[in-house]
Structure 1
Amino acid sequence: MPIAVSLLDLASIAPGQTARDSFANSVETARAAERSGYRRVWYAEHHNMSSIASSATSVLIGYVAAHTESIRLGAGGIMLPNHSPLVIAEQFGTLETLFPGRIDLGLGRAPGSDQKTMLALRRNASSADSFPQDVLELQGYLSGNSRIPGVKAVPRAEGIVPLYILGSSLFGAQLAAHLGLPYAFASHFSPDALHQAVRAYRDGFQPSEQLAEPYVMAGVNVFAADDHDTAAEQKTISYRARTRAFIKRGGAAGADYSDEEIDLFLSSPQGAQLASMTKYTAVGTAAEVVAYLQDFADSIGADELILAHHAQNIDDRIHSVELTGKAVAALEPVTS
């Protein structure tokens, strides 16, 4: 089947750079995606992570939207238990009013942070239990059919802000199916339940006003370059940096690990789980990457792939975005 591709931008802060640099990079990345045929760019809500600058997700969406022309932009996603549904409805109603026809809202129930940060967000461990009810409350505000008498979201955009359920387990799949919403699986970092969750979503899907048929999206990591060896080297550098960040986040903040030590850790039983998180990674030339993406999409019947390009150097990352987008565009056209 032909594939549609979109972009997940983690708004990463590279070593030696600032959050301001990251935002400038996000603008250039979105522009590259726009001219290369990607459907949308999403940003994810993370907190207390020194290498990710997308914590104020709706603000970043607005900034990038103001510096692009037509590509859809959204959250992939907003961690709804961290927020009041009314506040999120106001934020995304504002975005849709400012940038009509360009705003998406993906919703997740994870904290997007560690336990201490979760408490600092004024969230308790049981807040995720109300996620289904919070989605419905948010949906009501966005559609002008508030479930809370006398309360409405202002501004409420004239256009539709489509909702997407994000997840990496059967819970999200079943909720998306029950509500008749598109389902995006986080297979770029949590691959284990991918096939089971997609089956559960398709089997349980109930049509809704927003969606008549199931719509499956899935995440894939990508390193595309002019030759295979260059792409493979970019992958090695990026995943070493990622491993260092995970180790430091676990409490070894002062350690300076050599490349050899990182590689040894990743090949050990202790590092195997971390290494397995990036199971779905396309590496190589544009042709090699697109062949991988096509096989991956066919394996689950994906309607759309969300690509996370991870090359640390921004020029390499933009080149990866462009190579992949142009190669996909050269395939049989995809109907919207």
Structure 2
Amino acid sequence: MRGILTAIPLPSLLAQISCAAYTLQDDYGTTDSFFDQFNFFTDIDPTHGYVSYIDRSAATIRGLIGATGSSVYIGVDAEHQASGSGRQSVRLTSTRSYGHGLFILDLAHMPGGVCGTWPAFQSVNQMTLHTNDGCSIQNSGFTGSLETSNCYVGAPGQPLNSGCAILSGSSQSYGDGFNQAGGGIYATEWKSTGIKIWSFPRYGIPWDIINGEPDPATWGTPTAAFSGGCDIDYHFKDLQIVFDITFCADWAGNVWSSGSCASQAPTCNLFVQNNPAAFREAFWRVNSLKVYQDNARPPLGAPSPPPGYSSFHRTIGESVSRKDTTPFTRPGPRHVRHGHKGR
């Protein structure tokens, strides 16, 4: 992914070569230095959300970000009525870009399940890839359920911008179920052969992850696996890590009237504007974020993808946004996402 896995100049921590399948490249830490490794996006939300992204100084003063040494907090304004431009939030994009790797995110809490948050109100995780034309996936090699197989955002016969999507079967993979179980871990392995995603509840984290020597070969079948009719190295490169929380927007705003949240207010924007206390649970609590490498790299001379939209997402970012976390994205319109679909 180039520029979003939704990127950062952060100090690299290089582990000594060992027999482990992967060695540590970057440990983002849980002190204020975590935020040194991200840029604070303050432009208009690319998903057209009812949100006002603020800079680091303002976010610190208003308590929207913080670090304790054991975890990092990323939240939204849950105290005040929102202005006409939207509820205040933050959107972080890593200063470092990646191409391949193993990305392990330990979350104590995620901002899912709150009416008006984006992508919206669902109890399980939806993992998606969004690309230009020429990328599709096979329906095998994962425990989730395939919703759409064509990753092209304009694929005929699929909702616009849906990409290729795999739905988790676990209620502990996202939102209230994830938080009530004490959080857990999301692991994304990105190789030339495909992109795989695992999720582990707090009580089921593999020992090799806990010991800092992760080996995906021992984790069993992934929740999602994106491979088949897609040249991964052609469609995904130089991606960044993104954390954000947005409201309403192109997805949640459009499905507002068809979901249970519609009883709360006539429109998504009005609900978000006038109910600050509803967003007290709309925050990330990050225990750790680590990036590992196996020294594999895309082949030299691999062609650059043509202008288009490529990315992968998972539930982080998710609340990672469509160019937000899965956390991953690049400066251009390509990404992978861990997301969740509105109802």
Task: Tell whether the structures are fold-level matches, with TM greater than 0.5.
Answer: no
In our comparison, the structure showing a higher alpha carbon Rg is: 1
Normalised TM-score (structure 1): 0.24
State the TM-score, normalized to the length of structure 2: 0.24
**More helix by proportion, 1 or 2?**
1
If each structure's strand is expressed as a fraction of its own residues, which one has the higher value? 2
* Higher RCO structure, 1 or 2 (CA under 8 Å, sep 6+): 2
